[in-house]
Structure 1
Amino acid sequence: MNRRLTSLATQWTVLVPVLAVVLLGLTWGRHQPVAVVVLACVVLAGAVLAAVHHAEVVAHRVGEPFGSLVLAIAVTIIEVALIVTLMADGGAKSATLARDTVFAAVMITCNGIVGLCLLMASLRHGTAVFNPEGTGAALATVATLATLSLVLPTFTTSKPGPEFSGVQLTFAALTSLILYGLFVATQTVRHRTYFLPITRQGDVITADDHAAMPSARAAWTSLVLLGLALIGVVGLAKGVSPAIESGVQAAGLPQAVVGVVIALLVLLPETIAALRSARRDRVQTSLNLALGSAMASIGLTIPAVALASVWLPGPLVLGLGATHMLLLALTVVVGSLTVVPGRATPLQGGVHLVLFAAYLELAINP
């Protein structure tokens, strides 16, 4: 019976990514009736769960922190492609799309995912334990990237409005790539142990004893299916975005809410994977996913849109407004105080979730 259930689960996680890509190919660039939109939402949810399954297979094969890095980079690369596509199709109204999407990703990951994981782990295990060296390095990199890319444009004077000049945008793109590359080298080569889960006694957990190591063939198959699932997730999210946009407009909500909803959909695989790790008391893995996704979102998106701005019409607005800068500053301060002790209680998780709720509230009622 157990073998039969395992076989059905395996078939399901194989079929859904393929179905998602097929449905994406059939519906791409076409106006969709309500029934197709509902079907796309159902398949999108299935693709999210399949992506989490395959990401965990790959992560178990390659170990931490490489497993977290695979999912974060895969999601972000496809997210970047989505942003550039929407900017090319959106005209003048897409001038702030990159800024809104990146900032939404930062707030979702640094407050939403981090808060949920800390709350879950601390309620289930008493306290959430993690490595402050690795987590602090990740948070510092996210804070620097966010400030250089999203805060400075508001104060520069070379160009009117919250925009970078060509030289400034090139500098921001290059520094984003350099910092992200330096962090990846630190995480995976020179100081890999800083990013591994730890026990409550402070010992590094180098292997997961809960399941047998998947074969190389299974890992490569899951990597391919992970890519298909993520393409389906992001592509179908773009396909249902007109329906989301219409719903937002009918409700009288600001246009920025569309970006928040799409960012939430795109980050669902990482959110579920992070929560599963937190439930197993692997909080460091959860934080690797959350902060790594925020970092990849900035470090890969800014260079991509900088390059795309060469041929895309219209301005590229990256500078945040005063309200969002205040939320970003508070997130960095609270995150630093959370990271320093290397352990967290439900209070810290609740504080991050309140910050995330404040971001959502101000997105709806600016």
Structure 2
Amino acid sequence: MSRLVRICVKHWATALPVLAVVLLVFAWGRSLPGPVVALLACFLAGAVLAAVHHAEVVAHRVGEPFGSLVLAVAVTIIEVALIVTLMADGGDKSSSLARDTVFAAVMITCNGIVGVSLLVGSLKRKVAVFNAEGTGAAFATVATLAGLSLALPTFTTSTPGPEFTPTQLIFAAVAAVVLYGLFVMTQTWRHRDYFLPVTTQGKVIDGEEHADPPSRRVSRISLGLLAISLVAVVGLAKGVSPTIESGVEAAGMPAAVVGVVIALLVLLPESIAAVRAARRDRVQTSLNLALGSAVASIGLTIPAVAIASIWMNGPLLLGLGATHMVLLTLTVAVGTLTIVPGRATPLQGGVHLSLFAAYLVLAVNP
């Protein structure tokens, strides 16, 4: 038994996803008591950490910016699966879940992850340096997608309330897919050099300097374990979501808090990876992770829920309220001013984190 424990500790990134999937099989579709939910939550956190580990192995093999893209798409698959699953089970009360989760993802990435990354990078080396051209392109894509998908529905007049007509929803979904495709092409092919890390001295880094990339075999194993980890995260998050919803309701907090919790869960791998990159003077990698996740979150989630709305009953509310519209406007304005110089001090990191803190406070106490 002790030998088995030692093996599991040594190979935790392999053992945890497998154990999490086994636990998921036994817990799926059952009413779970509190201790079992707590166990699920522990394995959920472990599966998230395993996903980060294996995503970083794959990222090291393929290099930047492909590595950031791998993790961003993986995390977004988790988010889309959770949103669609919960919307299918929730009926009318989940009509705003997609909006709440996507907006939470935008605020977490553009203010939370960006703010922490800039703060860590600038405190360690006085100034955080990044490529303004690539970061600006990514941020412009986020702002456009958020405006078309989350702000515009509030002002359309064809239907009452903050929702699109079917024609408008189709346009928003197609526009999201097209913009996401253009972003991926720009990041990985046409202008890949815009998204490569830049050191404080202005040196462009194409690949890691101090570590050989993993072998093809190791990378393939990590890619498979990454997929297993993501399945475990989606399934376990689905298992603990009723407890989250009950806790939010019992605490008297708005239903939108559920979307915040989901976004925090699925973006935990991005947050950890971004902070690690910033500590290694790879702030551009951190921003690739943050903004790439924001682009993927909107660009893939909106088309997915648009398709899912065909067979789901009830409205699909996408438009933001006045408070969130102000926060989105401030985020776009502040983000633009942060990105244009290509250099940031701890002040810029603190400004973004203050906006993220304001979002969290207003989510709980609107």
Is TM > 0.5 for Structure 1 vs Structure 2?
A: yes
- What's 1:269 paired with? 269
Q: 1:49-198 alignment to 2 at 5 Å?
A: 49-198=49-198
Query: 2:125–2:200: 8 Å Cα contact kept in structure 1?
Result: no
Q: 1:144-293 alignment to 2 at 5 Å?
A: 144-293=144-293
| Distance in 1, Cα, partners of 2:339 & 2:323 | 24
Q: TM-score, normalised by structure 2?
A: 0.96
Q: Map Cα deviations across residues 293-322 of structure 1 (whole Å, 9 max, x no partner).
A: 011000000001111111111110100001
- What's 1:313 paired with? 313
- What is the letter of the counterpart of residue 353 of structure 2? L
- What's 2:303 paired with? 303
Q: 1:11-26 alignment to 2 at 5 Å?
A: 11-26=11-26
Q: Map Cα deviations across residues 204-251 of structure 1 (whole Å, 9 max, x no partner).
A: 101202322100111111111111112212221221111122222222
Query: 2:50–2:226: 8 Å Cα contact kept in structure 1?
Result: yes
- What is the letter of the counterpart of residue 125 of structure 2? H
| Secondary structure at 2:11 match in 1 | helix
Task: Tell me: CA distance 1:114–1:32, structure 2 relative to 1, closer, same or farther (3 Å).
Answer: same
TM-aligned CA deviation for residue 7 of structure 1 = 7.8
| Distance in 2, Cα, partners of 1:354 & 1:20 | 36
Could you list the runs of 5+ residues in structure 1 that have no partner in the other structure?
A: 1-5
TM-aligned CA deviation for residue 203 of structure 1 = 2.2
Please identify, of 350-359 and 77-86, the stretch whose mean Cα deviation from structure 2 is larger. 77-86
| Distance in 1, Cα, partners of 2:154 & 2:249 | 28
| Distance in 2, Cα, partners of 1:240 & 1:78 | 14
Q: TM-score, normalised by structure 1?
A: 0.96
Q: Share of identical aligned residues, percent?
A: 75
| Secondary structure at 1:160 match in 2 | coil
- What is the letter of the counterpart of residue 257 of structure 1? V
| Secondary structure at 1:318 match in 2 | coil
TM-aligned CA deviation for residue 262 of structure 1 = 1.7
CA RMSD of aligned residues (A): 1.3
| Secondary structure at 2:315 match in 1 | coil
- What's 2:354 paired with? 354
| Distance in 1, Cα, partners of 2:37 & 2:363 | 25
| Distance in 2, Cα, partners of 1:182 & 1:9 | 42
For the pair 1:329 / 2:329, whether they are aligned, the reply is yes
Could you list the runs of 5+ residues in structure 2 that have no partner in the other structure?
A: 1-5
Q: Map Cα deviations across residues 8-38 of structure 1 (whole Å, 9 max, x no partner).
A: 6661100101111222222122211111111
- What is the letter of the counterpart of residue 258 of structure 1? V
Query: 2:81–2:234: 8 Å Cα contact kept in structure 1?
Result: no
